[in-house]
Amino acid sequence: MKKKGIDRIKQITDKGINLTKKVTADNANTNSVPIDTYLNRCVSYIEEVKREPVPVEHSVDKHTAVKLLYNIYRHLQQFKGIERQEYNEKRTIGLEEMSGEDEERTLESAVAYSGGGQGFAHVNWNA
């Protein structure tokens, strides 16, 4: 069962605290850290806490959790060490590697995706 409200916020905050531990462990094990990955995770935790609805009596706790996650983010930004980039090599493919079937799927007519106009939104000037 998925947690909700303040329990979910506590769970997310614990994940944020664990990020600093992961950075330390990663640095000790590999002598380098994918700091951008950890920063992005921290930002996603902040956004997730902000989206989580809580009762009024827990709004101060929610604000405190957001502040804590921002402090963790600032701490991660000040990381001094060797940074490594982790890219997924399978995320993109070269055009030479595409088959004819792939090209047919990706190169459909733009008309199929457009609303038929010039890309401008409709404005009602008489309103």
Instruction: Check if the beta carbon of residue 49 is closer than 8 Å to that of residue 69.
Output: yes
Judge whether 115 lies within some domain. no
**Do 45 and 69 touch, CB atoms closer than 8 A?**
yes
The pLDDT tens digits for 52-96 are 888 888 889 999 999 999 999 999 999 888 888 777 666 677 777
- pTM (global) more than 0.85: no
* Residue 88 placed within a domain: no
- The 3-state secondary structure of 35-82 reads HHHHHHHHHHHHHHHHHCCCCHHHHHHHHHHHHHHHHHHHHHHCCCCC
Q: 52 in a domain, yes or no?
A: yes
Average pLDDT, the chain: 82
For residue 22, is it within any domain?
A: yes
Q: Report yes or no on 107 lying in a domain.
A: no
Domain count, the chain: 1
SS3 15: helix
Q: How many CB atoms lie within 10 A of CB 106?
A: 8
